[in-house]
Amino acid sequence: MLSLEIVHALDQNIQEIAADVVRMLSLVRESCQLAKRALIDGDLEAAAQCVENDHRVDALQEELEQKILTVIARRQPAARDLRFLGAMHRALSDIERAGDYAEHVARTGAELATQPPLKKYTDMQRIFVVLSAMIEKTMQAIAEGDVGAAQQGLTMDDEIDDLYQQIQRELLTYMMENPKVITTALKLMNVGRYLERLGDHLENVNEHTIFWLTGERL
């Protein structure tokens, strides 16, 4: 049976890890904001900042992976605590990949900044709004152990998927009507794909969180 001292240390470790995972998500949210500025406003400085921000996400992932494995080895957690550590360990790679996709959007935005815009980015702007709300709910779910917030975050990805399909159809129409815009349209299709994949990874984080809180795998 674990001593009270070990239990207290484990609780503290879990609180610290939860706070760091939320901090990692906050960095990804910042990366999304920078990517939006790079794409919508052609802000080259924002694109550069997004690349730099992604290095911070990567470093935090490495640190947290090691920390989680150390806690498992030293504290020998069970039941819900073990589910939390396992779920967060799996979530780290999804959060890191979400940051990568934000960086891809920022880099492509920097490339497109040198050209006249092909179209208004109305649907993409909406995706950024949804992603921001999705990250907020994901952070709330982990920080507060709120399964309802995780479920809300999970379902937000449906709107992103619908917007992505709409963007792809519209860009295909542009390319068929004017072959001269194919290169630009393909880059924008890639941006749509990056944003859609970013949402998928956040969806995965919420699935991991729901497993931690309920023991249910989705």
Query: pLDDT for 178-190, tens place per residue?
Result: 999 999 999 999 9
Q: Residue 1 — pLDDT band, cuts 50, 70, 90?
A: very low
pLDDT tens digits for range 93-148 = 999 999 999 999 999 999 999 888 888 899 999 999 999 999 999 999 999 999 99
Residue 209's CATH number: 1.20.58.220
Residue 70: φ, ψ to 5°: -65, -45
The predicted-structure confidence for 37-72, as pLDDT tens digits, reads as follows: 999 999 999 999 999 999 999 999 999 999 999 999
| H-state helical runs in 41-156 | 44-75, 79-112, 122-144, 147-155
Domain that holds residue 187: 4-214
Model's pTM, two decimal places? 0.94
163 and 128 Cβ atoms separated by less than 8 Å: no
For the stretch 26-42, pLDDT in tens is 999 999 999 999 999 99
Number of folded domains in the chain?
Answer: 1
Q: pLDDT exceeding 70 applies to what percent of the chain?
A: 97
Cα–Cα dist 187/177, whole Å:
17
Q: What is the C-alpha separation between 193 and 7, in angstroms, rounded?
A: 44
pLDDT at 217: 85
